[in-house]
Amino acid sequence: MTLPPIWVRRLVIAPAVVVLAFVLLTTLPVWLLIALAVSPLVPGRLRVPRVVFLGIVYLVWDALALVLLSVIWVASGFGWRIRGPWFQRAHYVMTGRFLSVLFWFARWSLHLEIDVVGTDPDTAQPGRPEIVVSRHAGPGDSFTLIHALVNWFAREPRIVLKAALQWDPAVDVLLNRLPNRFISPGRTGTVTLEEQIGDLATGLDHNDAFVIFPEGGNFTPRRRVSAIARLRARGLGDLAVKAEGLRNLLPPKPGGLLAAIEAAPDAGVIFVAHTGLDRMLSVSDVWRELPMDKKLVMRFWSVPPEEVPAGEQERIDWLYDWWARIDAWIDEHRPAPRPLWTPRGQPPSAR
């Protein structure tokens, strides 16, 4: 679906979200009563009330963010100083606070636990910028990674994101005010994606973290087969063979990472793996998995800048080697599947 122009997103969609959130919040008891009445007709333990409650919470969360962003915009002189250091920092602080609230609700209502193991990006070398390279596995992984970087490691992320995420009004306004890039496949005008990424990674300071997802999308078996076929069609048989050994990841697209390393040669590189929400790639997946009762395990590996290979082909091989390591780690730490039957003798769909 084509993204509407910015004036439609700002003057129509954003105000509509605020109004809708107000209406739903003031009538929340009614919606919960309806959801409770429907709940016995749907398999799952209070599945409908959970979905209704979380949907309204997220909409209100989005609306409150939009209201606060409007206040900041006015305080900055109606956008005059919005790019200044103080207001940029205010947006990062706001990001951290709102993500903390969102994940508090996730822990409370979904019993979602996040466990981070491995290198702390700040203890790798304090005061050094980092390029954070992460797998892509579901709609929640970006939120989780940014939550970790902002709230646990005191980093200011610069993120390469899909343009479609601008359908969310708060994400649209907030991240477009900060140094991020919303990109679409192919070219934007005469500027390649690699050039956009290189521009974004230029000038990283001591607490910045440049975040990139080299797979370009969520893993599915069909996408894996298609990606391997594209590598072979481009004459990259050696990389196709390496990609065939990946069971949980799509083959990485190295162009963006290579551009970031060239633009920020003094930055370390941190590879991120996570598992626990791998099967939640769509709204229907989230519906099926409720209630979650899940643990998301994240692993960080830090590579200092002096250990990053110098040549282009060496860097591509190095990236694929890391991808194989992450793939093996996911195999070792993937949560056990749910039992076919619960202790009460009910199938999982009835939980």
70 neighbors 171 (Cβ within 8 angstroms): no
More confident residue, 290 or 103: 103
Closest CA to 230 of 255, 251, 256, 258: 251
Predicted confidence (pLDDT) at residue 288 exceeds the cutoff of 90: no
Look at residue 347 and tell me whether its pLDDT is greater than 90. no
**Among the listed ranges 50-54, 58-62, 335-339, which one has the minimum average pLDDT value?**
335-339
CATH number of the structural domain 81-335: 3.40.1130
Query: Backbone phi, then psi, for 328, in 5-degree steps?
Result: -65, -40
pTM, 2 dp: 0.87
Task: Give the pLDDT confidence of 170-196 residue by residue, as tens digits.
Answer: 999 999 999 999 987 654 455 688 899
pLDDT at 11: 95
